[in-house]
Amino acid sequence: MTKIAKKRQMRARHPERNRKWFGIILFCLTVVALLAFVCRFAYVAIVGSVDSKNLAAYRDSQYARTVPLQAKRGSIIDRNGQAIAEDASTYTIYAVIDKHYTKAGKKLYVTNKAKTAAVLAKYLPLSKEKILAYLSPKQAAFQVEFGAAGTRLSLATRKEIEKAHLPGINFTDSPSRLYPNGVFASYTVGLTQANATDKNQPLVGVMGLEKEFNAQLAGTNGYQTAQVDNYGYRLPRAKVKTKAARNGGTVKTTLDSSLQSYLETLLSGVQTKYKQQSVTGVVMNAKTGEILAAGQRPTFDPGTMEGLGKGTSWQNMLTEDTYEPGSVMKVFNLAGAIQSGTFQPNTYYNSSMVRVAGTTIRDWNHVGFGEIPYSQALPRSSNVGMVHIVQQMGAANQAKTLKDFGFGQKTGITLPNEASGSYTLANPVTRAVMAYGQSVNVTQMQILQAASAIANKGTMVQPRIVSQVTAPSGKVTTYKRQVVGHPVSAATAKTVIAEMRDTINQPYGTGVTYKIAGVDLAAKTGTANVPNPKGGYLPGATNQLHSLLVLAPASDPEFIVYLTLKQNTAMTAPATTALNDIFHPLMTRLLALNSGAGASPASQMVTVPAVTNDGLTKASARLTEKMLAQALVGTGNRIVQQLPAAGTQALRGARVILLTNGAMTMPDVSGWSKSDVLKLAQLTGRKFKLQGEGYASAQSLKAGSLLGDDPVTVTFQKTD
């Protein structure tokens, strides 16, 4: 019994032993787990990474915020420093209405909707009630915008709204490009568009100088990085890393703004009156190759894109289009013949016709001029005479002439996509018709370059549209006069000019229409048939290219003017009349500048003073002292913004537009130029529709009325 009792007692102790061992094992496991956690934590703390991820970098990525610092795109300016294309920004307003949006107890949302609506109604083309409706959406929202009325706001408008210190009102900005002159050498200056491939450069040049010098104009964005909280506000003592933006450089052109604007007006007048397919005009300094003015029709406004719709050509007619120039080529063929010693000015020929390899070539009047000397071939623009002259010159000299004058080769002007033109001397007929400008394709820049050799006593200079480029780094590249050849001697050039004088002065000359009393001119007219894409040439007198090349003054040419007019669809007068509507007033303006009858453009320039923050009386006095006109926009008593900007160059008498701190109202724009109205659009951020040419004669919104969201139409008319 005793043994049995002992066995039962030992069995009773086993559960206690089991629990003890279980506790020991559990404790050991806990210690091991804790040690493992401590080791892991120590490892993470020391190494700073988990699963190959750097914790510090991960934390920074979660709380760091990088804000881009936008670089300004550089300006394109004219020869006197006036802006042709410049950087601009527009602003969009929005309101935070979420009542949870606070920081350190400060309310960062709209707290007084009625007051906010009343203030915004002064600057936005919306009623107070409409703004209240935006601020009180039916569904919960963190922020609201104000539709189209809250977009494209000017800097002046933004500043005025910010002065009211309205909680919850914020702005976003968008880069844009301002072309203050509107239609102004548009294909040459070019165009920018939004850049879809590089967010660091929101605008990219797609045409003209904007494209050619995009790298120099674009600049480089910077950035600012700092740690922020969940609401996007910078954390206390957070480190800030900043890389400054590098603004774009400047492209200084050879264009003269006053002359360019005048040429644009003349081209528009001819386009409207005669409705030709195209018309072009270029003025070049004969001695330096500087392009002073260059325009074409059709054209477009780079600020509004009006005129550059679907189906419109994006090509610059002056550099990218090639064409058969017609009789203007006779100038250079004659020069080649004189240079080669084969020209016989006093020898007579029968001008009725000439046969070449079985092909009959007749003069432009179909009957010729009878027996005349070769000295009259150019003034009369005799096709037959020029064929004889080229044949006497020989194929080798003809080829040398074309090459030496630069035909079939790019001029190298700093514009994109320049064409090289083409010609072939494969057969006698082709060589013959090239004598009067057929079967040879040229660009207008090639004609101007070749003409410079005649104007400069045999020295040929490269056409230039840019005089200086300043890169973002500050490096300045200067484009100087570039001599590109000496195709003829001074004696040859003098003889050619004498022949071109006869074109204007002799009663049989084809250019007598262009004669200006008392002015020494050397000229050559041209008429060419327009090639048919299917072969041959398009029929009819309306399918022709008419042109005029003039050197002035002929005794020592300073200017080369080249005009073309293509395919007159509603010609009510001869082509010479249409071209003279451009040439006569343009040449009169050029010779007036050259003769010193008035002050030169440079001496008429003044520096625009800074009048921002000045009162009206003080601002007016400062501008009057500089002989600058002024126009007030708004009902305030203090200037908040001005255009042109302070420090820029402007012609004496130019209008400076001043935006005041009052409600934005429409001024009286009677007599304003298009450039001034476009400056008004930039200052106010409102849309303007411009109709006609010349100076403002009517406006759809009465002066003194509040500028709203609807476009304002301004009508322009020419003045005699």
Other beta carbons within 10 Å of 643: 22
Distance CA 44, CA 317 (A): 69
Cis peptide upstream of residue 609 (ω within 30 degrees of 0): no
Extract the tokens encoding 302. Answer: 């780079």
Virtual torsion, Cα 465, 79, 249, 202, nearest 10 deg: -70
CA distances from 332 to 140, 211, 335, 484 (A): 77, 33, 5, 16
Extract the tokens encoding 279. Answer: 């018309």
381 contacts 330 by C-beta, under 8 angstroms: yes
What 3 state SS string does 430-481 have? HHHHHHHCCCEEECHHHHHHHHHHHHCCCCEECCECEEEEECCCCCEEECCC
Look up tokens 């527009």; give the residue.
90
Distance CA 575, CA 565 (A): 8
Extract the tokens encoding 402. Answer: 């074309």
Distance CA 582, CA 60 (A): 66
577 contacts 513 by C-beta, under 8 angstroms: yes
Extract the tokens encoding 679. Answer: 């400056």
314 contacts 207 by C-beta, under 8 angstroms: yes
Distance CA 491, CA 499 (A): 13
Distance CA 532, CA 511 (A): 28
433 contacts 528 by C-beta, under 8 angstroms: no
Q: What is the DSSP string of 299-362?
A: ---TTT-TT--TT-----TTTT--B--GGGGHHHHHHHHHHHT---TT-EEE-SEEEETTEEEE
Our answer to whether residue 705 is catalytic in this structure is: no
Nearest to 514 by CA among 480, 458, 554: 554
The beta strand positions in 653-694, using DSSP E, are 655-660, 688-692
CA distances from 231 to 65, 212, 235, 569, 620 (A): 11, 43, 10, 65, 46
Cis peptide upstream of residue 553 (ω within 30 degrees of 0): yes
Q: What are phi and psi of 292, to 5 degrees?
A: -90, -30
Angle between helix 155-162 and helix 674-684 axes, rounded to 10 deg: 30
CA distances from 169 to 122, 178, 211, 229, 640 (A): 15, 27, 38, 20, 20
- Alpha helices (runs of H) in 113-168, residue ranges in sequence order: 113-120, 128-135, 155-162
The catalytic position among 154, 186, 268, 327 is 327
449 contacts 443 by C-beta, under 8 angstroms: no
| Residues assigned a catalytic role | 327
